Amino acid sequence: MSVSSHKIIAFTFLLYIHRVQAQYFILNFSDEDFHNGFDNNSTNEDSNYEKFGQTEPRSDQDLDPGSWRPILEQLDDSVVHPALTPYYSALKKMVSAASEGNFMLMEEAVNEVNASASAGDPPARSVMGFVYGMGMTREANGTKSFQQHQLAAEGGNMQSKMALAFRYVQLDMHDKAAKLYAEVAGTALSSFLISKDFSMVVPLRIHRGAEEDKDVLRRFRGEDGEDFKILEYQAQIGHPSAMYRTGLFYYFSLRGIRHDHAKAMYWFSEAAEKRELRSMEILGEIYALGTGVEKNYTKAFRCLTLAAEGGLYSAYTGLGYLYLKGYGVDKNYTKARECFEKVSDREDPSGMYYLGMLYLKGIGVKRDVKQATKYFLVASNAGLPKGMYQIAKMLHAGAELKKNPNMLKLAVALYKSVSERGPWSSLSRWALEAYMKGDVGKAFILYSRMSELGYEVAQSNAAWILDKYGKRSMCMGVSGFCTDKERKERAHALWWRASKQGNDYAALLVGDAYYYGRGKERDFVRAAEAYMYAKSQLNAQAMFNLGYMHEYGQGLPFDLNLAKSYYNQALENEPVSKFPIMLALVRLWVRRKYVDVSIMVTLLLASLITVLHLFNKRSQRREVTVDSIGADVAQPLVESAAFPN
Ligand SMILES: *[C@@H]1O[C@H](CO)[C@@H](O)[C@H](O)[C@H]1NC(C)=O
Ligand SMILES: *[C@@H]1O[C@H](CO)[C@@H](O)[C@H](O)[C@H]1NC(C)=O
Ligand SMILES: *[C@@H]1O[C@H](CO)[C@@H](O)[C@H](O)[C@H]1NC(C)=O
Ligand SMILES: *[C@@H]1O[C@H](CO)[C@@H](O)[C@H](O)[C@H]1NC(C)=O
Ligand SMILES: *[C@@H]1O[C@H](CO)[C@@H](O)[C@H](O)[C@H]1NC(C)=O
Ligand SMILES: *[C@@H]1O[C@H](CO)[C@@H](O)[C@H](O)[C@H]1NC(C)=O
Ligand SMILES: *[C@@H]1O[C@H](CO)[C@@H](O)[C@H](O)[C@H]1NC(C)=O
């Protein structure tokens, strides 16, 4: 039996959840797990999966009803369903009000949204959920917010489902969260037919610690020879690679460029004429799926074959898909498998994913869940959302069977990660674009909306904007612009959520807020808790602070030995700012040696520390990692698996 022949393999894998949480998970699947029905049947029987089998691309409104995109891209009214006209008109007012800082207009907008919501319009209810959640022109009320989202979700609103799922996670109700996220993640997958899981749709963090992240913003602006105008010019004078990239900008609506399918197709075709392989591949995929063009398997097959024969191995994924489905060619599972194997031999995750699917479904091979899992794990670790989705489903099924809460949590984290690649993630591109144009109010409201949906990066961006821009963030409270107190509270709530999602800088700020009593009652115990959390993410500043609190018995027991151990840990984790840490160690040494040391010495050292600290004005805080952007990191396009049974 094939399973036992694989018995030697130790099923321990590092599963890295990309960009969502800076955390590693270790999945330790034992052989026993596989034999005891970790997942023998469930994945196969799951009809949910087959739903993605529809290769008909679904419209934006279908995937993300009430999407904010028409407002942000200023599409003309014809693309909007007539029934949604009042909703969109109100939403438009709302975004303008935030942008202009016009409270009267905001009230008007909220009244209009409320009217649509009262009439039973799900997207309007979803926005009311947001309004109550923020406390914007209405008293903040978690219950009302929840109710509105629930009604909207019942009406099929995906963004509300996501907001609810995130709320369930916060409430530790992971079973409910998993159900909702599974659905949202499934929808996100079908959106890849159109917007794919390209890595540049991942939200960008606009700050690094307390400062604006100039690097990210420069790259977004395109000062690294990536200026879109220059790029398009190069395309016009006939550079094939520039043509391809220009096409990508239009196809995925990158960096604030308006989505334009026709222009994208034009540039891909021009480049393909010049034998630009990546363009041939993407054209092949587009023709195979019929996203925005008439499906044409003949063309798809030709483009993909040319790309593959030209040496672009990833194109074999598309070819394999055509063989699998018998589109434009005779159905041949052997050939399909050979194609996927060619791709995965090059360590391409999409090939691995499809091989996994063949084993999972037993198509052209003997069904082997273990083998499938292995492939999915590799694909998942490489950041392929489809791989993550499969693993999440297995864990989800396994967790229900075994009543294992940790498995369930992990499933939720993976589903969430996939969900966040859905079409709603485009909010972040428009937020960033607004921010770049100096429209802080618009950026803030868009990031706030995304915060509600659970995006950690958006939570930290919104909180940072509040802290950094104060009144200019156009934060709106119950009866006018936010007071200082309202702003601090809102920022604290946002940092708090981000910290719970593994953002160590946020945890540090939450700790600071309690430590210094900023926007919160001074509370050393809670400060220590937050620092402890940041410490667990290897934040050197938090270690330093914990050392300090032990040294002075603030919130933590007075303990010079523990203090020393924390200072040492801080030193290990951040050699760059070792001055203050070294001085703390010196101070500690003095204190330990001469417990009754005169206050003078301490004061002297303290002032020395300050002086040196100012001298050495490097950021003490660990830099928060920033996601990279760039159109060249594109992953191969694969359709989200319409598998035959
Ligand atoms: C994996 O689980 C097995 C048995 O459950 C255990 O013996 C082994 O130490 C675990 N490995 C890791 C890396 O946790
Ligand atoms: C799998 O299916 C078989 C037969 O359909 C059934 O007897 C068995 O209980 C199922 N196992 C699990 C774990 O659901
Ligand atoms: C799952 O499949 C394996 C191998 O195919 C088999 O040994 C095991 O008994 C199955 N478990 C269940 C619960 O059906
Ligand atoms: C929303 O509209 C309903 C019905 O028109 C009204 O009864 C309610 O007071 C409004 N609520 C708010 C908060 O404006
Ligand atoms: C929030 O709304 C609920 C239900 O509408 C209401 O019962 C509750 O009193 C409100 N809470 C606050 C703090 O206003
Ligand atoms: C598909 O493309 C081929 C070659 O470009 C063309 O001859 C054929 O008519 C097209 N088929 C359809 C259904 O449009
Ligand atoms: C499928 O492809 C394999 C290998 O490419 C070939 O040997 C086989 O004859 C093909 N099967 C059919 C039914 O065409």
Residue 295 sits in a domain whose CATH number is 1.25.40.10
Which has the higher per-residue pLDDT, 48 or 488?
A: 488
Q: What is the pLDDT of residue 367?
A: 84
Report whether 507 contacts 542 (CB < 8 A): yes
Report whether 488 contacts 467 (CB < 8 A): no
What span, in angstroms and rounded, lies between the C-alpha atoms of 557 and 422? 47
Determine, yes or no, domain membership for 233.
yes
- Single out the residue in 357, 375, 393 at which a domain terminates: 375
Q: Ligand 7: which residue has its CA nearest to atom 12? A: 332
Distance, CA 142 to ligand 5 centroid (Å)? 8
Q: Ligand 7: which residue has its CA nearest to atom 13? A: 332
* Nearest by Cα to 507 from 516, 494, 515, 495: 495
Q: What is the pLDDT of residue 572?
A: 76
Report whether 20 contacts 169 (CB < 8 A): no
Beta bridge partners of 209: none
Atom of ligand 2 minimally distant from the CA of 39: 13
Which has the higher per-residue pLDDT, 540 or 16?
A: 540
Determine, yes or no, domain membership for 520.
no
Q: Ligand 6: which residue has its CA nearest to atom 13? A: 296
What single string gives the DSSP state of each residue in 160-199? HHHHHHHHHHHTT-HHHHHHHHHHHHHHHHHHTTTTTT-G
Do 151 and 223 lie in one domain? The reply is: no
What span, in angstroms and rounded, lies between the C-alpha atoms of 101 and 428? 20
What span, in angstroms and rounded, lies between the C-alpha atoms of 584 and 609? 8
Single-letter code of the amino acid located at 570:
A
- Single out the residue in 375, 395, 416 at which a domain terminates: 375
Do 165 and 267 lie in one domain? The reply is: no
Distance, CA 28 to ligand 1 centroid (Å)? 6
Distance, CA 278 to ligand 6 centroid (Å)? 21
Do 165 and 100 lie in one domain? The reply is: yes
Determine, yes or no, domain membership for 313.
yes
The beta-strand segments (E) located in 203-351 are 207-208, 211-212
125 CB less than 6 Å from ligand 4?
Answer: no
Q: Ligand 5: which residue has its CA nearest to atom 10? A: 141
Report whether 544 contacts 584 (CB < 8 A): yes
Do 237 and 369 lie in one domain? The reply is: yes
Determine, yes or no, domain membership for 331.
yes
Spatial CB neighbours of 436, under 8 Å, sequence gap ≥ 6: 217, 220, 221, 256
* Nearest by Cα to 419 from 643, 164, 626: 164
Ligand 6 interacting residues, C-beta cut-off 6 A:
294, 296, 298-299
Distance, CA 30 to ligand 1 centroid (Å)? 8
Single-letter code of the amino acid located at 357:
M
Total structural domains within the chain: 2
- Single out the residue in 350, 375, 400 at which a domain terminates: 375
Q: Which of 283, 294, 299 has most ligand 6 atoms within 8 Å of its beta carbon, as the pocket-test mutant? A: 299
Beta bridge partners of 14: 26
For residue 329, the ligand closest to its alpha carbon is 7
Do 263 and 337 lie in one domain? The reply is: yes
Place of tokens 């390209």: 198
Determine, yes or no, domain membership for 49.
no
Determine, yes or no, domain membership for 531.
no
Question: Which residues form the domain of 342?
Answer: 207-375
Do 153 and 234 lie in one domain? The reply is: no
Q: Which of 112, 114, 479 has most ligand 4 atoms within 8 Å of its beta carbon, as the pocket-test mutant? A: 114
Reduced to 3 states (helix: H, G, I; strand: E, B; else coil), residue 521 is: coil
Determine, yes or no, domain membership for 484.
no
Distance, CA 11 to ligand 1 centroid (Å)? 9
118 CB less than 6 Å from ligand 4?
Answer: yes
b vs e for 608-630, b when ≥16 Cβ sit within 10 Å of the residue's Cβ?
Answer: ebeeeeeeeeeebbbebebeebe
What span, in angstroms and rounded, lies between the C-alpha atoms of 201 and 554? 44
Atom of ligand 7 minimally distant from the CA of 333: 1
* Nearest by Cα to 166 from 415, 511, 399: 415
The H or E element containing residue 382 is none
b vs e for 546-560, b when ≥16 Cβ sit within 10 Å of the residue's Cβ?
Answer: bbbbbbeeebbeeeb
335 CB less than 6 Å from ligand 7?
Answer: yes
Token code pair at residue 518: 């900023």
Do 163 and 280 lie in one domain? The reply is: no
Condensed to tens digits (0 to 9), the pLDDT of residues 441-462 reads 999 999 999 999 999 999 999 9
- pLDDT over threshold 90, residue 606: no
Report whether 98 contacts 137 (CB < 8 A): no
Report whether 229 contacts 221 (CB < 8 A): no
Q: Which of 30, 38, 402, 407 has most ligand 1 atoms within 8 Å of its beta carbon, as the pocket-test mutant? A: 30
Q: What is the pLDDT of residue 152?
A: 96
Tell me the backbone φ, ψ of residue 608, rounded to 5 degrees: -60, -45
Which has the higher per-residue pLDDT, 302 or 49?
A: 302
Do 367 and 237 lie in one domain? The reply is: yes
Distance, CA 435 to ligand 6 centroid (Å)? 45
What is the end-to-end Cα distance of the chain in Å, rounded? Answer: 23
Do 355 and 243 lie in one domain? The reply is: yes
Atom of ligand 3 minimally distant from the CA of 40: 1
CA dist 148 to 141, 143, 312, Å? 11, 9, 49
* Nearest by Cα to 531 from 517, 511, 515: 511
Q: Interhelix angle for 440-453 vs 158-170, to 10°?
A: 70
- pLDDT over threshold 50, residue 616: no
Do 211 and 117 lie in one domain? The reply is: no
b vs e for 508-537, b when ≥16 Cβ sit within 10 Å of the residue's Cβ?
Answer: bbbbbbbbeeebbeeebebbbbbbbbbbeb
Ligand 2 interacting residues, C-beta cut-off 6 A:
37, 40-41
Distance, CA 94 to ligand 4 centroid (Å)? 17
Condensed to tens digits (0 to 9), the pLDDT of residues 172-182 reads 899 999 999 99
What single string gives the DSSP state of each residue in 112-124? HHHHHHHTT-HHH
Which has the higher per-residue pLDDT, 518 or 643?
A: 518
What span, in angstroms and rounded, lies between the C-alpha atoms of 323 and 354? 12
Burial (CB < 10 A; 0-12, 13-18, 19+), residue 261, is middle
What span, in angstroms and rounded, lies between the C-alpha atoms of 110 and 297? 48
Residue 165 sits in a domain whose CATH number is 1.25.40
* Nearest by Cα to 234 from 634, 252, 250, 226: 226
CA dist 519 to 497, 528, 549, 573, Å? 16, 17, 20, 30
Condensed to tens digits (0 to 9), the pLDDT of residues 495-529 reads 888 888 877 777 777 877 787 777 677 888 888 88
Q: Ligand 2: which residue has its CA nearest to atom 14? A: 41
What single string gives the DSSP state of each residue in 580-645? HHHHHHHHHHHHHH-TT--HHHHHHHHHHHHHHHHHT----SPPPP-----GGGPPPP--------
Distance, CA 383 to ligand 3 centroid (Å)? 29
Condensed to tens digits (0 to 9), the pLDDT of residues 335-363 reads 999 999 998 888 778 888 889 888 888 88
Determine, yes or no, domain membership for 385.
no
Condensed to tens digits (0 to 9), the pLDDT of residues 181-194 reads 999 998 888 766 42
Place of tokens 């802080």: 440
Q: Longest Cα pair distance anywhere in the chain, in angstroms?
A: 89
**Model confidence band, residue 639 (pLDDT cutoffs 50, 70, 90):** very low
Do 364 and 217 lie in one domain? The reply is: yes
Tell me the backbone φ, ψ of residue 455, rounded to 5 degrees: -70, 120
Q: Interhelix angle for 240-252 vs 277-289, to 10°?
A: 30
What span, in angstroms and rounded, lies between the C-alpha atoms of 15 and 413? 11
Condensed to tens digits (0 to 9), the pLDDT of residues 13-46 reads 334 433 333 344 445 555 555 544 444 444 443 3
What span, in angstroms and rounded, lies between the C-alpha atoms of 539 and 472? 30
For residue 45, the ligand closest to its alpha carbon is 2
Which of 176-185, 230-239, 305-314, 547-556 is the least confident region? 547-556
Distance, CA 287 to ligand 6 centroid (Å)? 10
332 CB less than 6 Å from ligand 7?
Answer: yes
For residue 398, the ligand closest to its alpha carbon is 2
Do 221 and 154 lie in one domain? The reply is: no
